[in-house]
Amino acid sequence: YGLAAGTPTESSLNASLRVVVWWLLNDMKIASQRLILWGYSLGCAVTLAYLQQVPEGAVRGVVLQSPFLSVKDMVRDFLGPAPGNLIPNMWNNKAAIETVHYPTLFIHGKKDDLIPYQHSKILHRSCPSQIKTFYLSTNATHTCFHWKQDITKPFQNFLVLLMRETVRNKRKSATKEDGPQLQPASSESEEESSDPDSPVLDQLNKGEGALMCEWDAVGELVGVKKGLIEQQKCWVVKVWESIFGP
């Protein structure tokens, strides 16, 4: 598949991701808590399949862009229930998502004519993660997304949610048994939205709580430098360069 050698099958594609993650962990020496798996279309199925085979805490978060329920469901959408019932239920994401407790971002285009955005909505509702968010782009198709509006900003807001969770966990671990108890994370951090400007980021920029003073400590999670929260432009590029270099 793509530039990979061999025959493209469900098992061989799943194996490809295992090789990539192994390379990141062992050759690049990147900690698992700094890994965010980003699957796109078929890659969403490969990502979810990988998560079924690894122990808890294997990655920091997950991004699923234009995911589908299963191959069988896609065939049913295009050809009807009868043909769909004749094929094996390959890459059953509908079942796989029910075991995903990692923070998860769903991105889908409302004008997607290959995988209806309703697939993402169902997966989002079925995901048991306490931190999950669904971004629905009004104008995006299956292959055409606005880089800043549909990709960079939703991902930026997702990273903020991860920062907040890290701070919450640090405080929780530091709280004595007789100290004040923290409220658990919301089951849904954000609802479906076509607005790329999330209120989560606005609250962070205003210094809600003590999050801003914690930024240096939790910033190591994505390899960013002090003050990056004020430099929202080219967020993803800066994160990438801080990890892998220019």
In this prediction, residue 184 carries a pLDDT of 45
CA angle 218, 220, 225 (to 5 degrees): 100
Enter the pTM of the model. Answer: 0.71
Q: Are 128 and 100 in contact (CB under 8 A)?
A: yes
Reply yes or no on whether the pLDDT at 210 is more than 90. Answer: no
CA distance 41 to 209: 38
Helix H or strand E segment including 64 = strand 61-65
Share of the chain above pLDDT 90, in %: 48
Helix H or strand E segment including 50 = helix 42-51
In this prediction, residue 229 carries a pLDDT of 40
- Three-state DSSP state, 62: strand
CA distance 51 to 45: 10
Q: Regarding predicted confidence, which is higher, 207 or 175?
A: 175
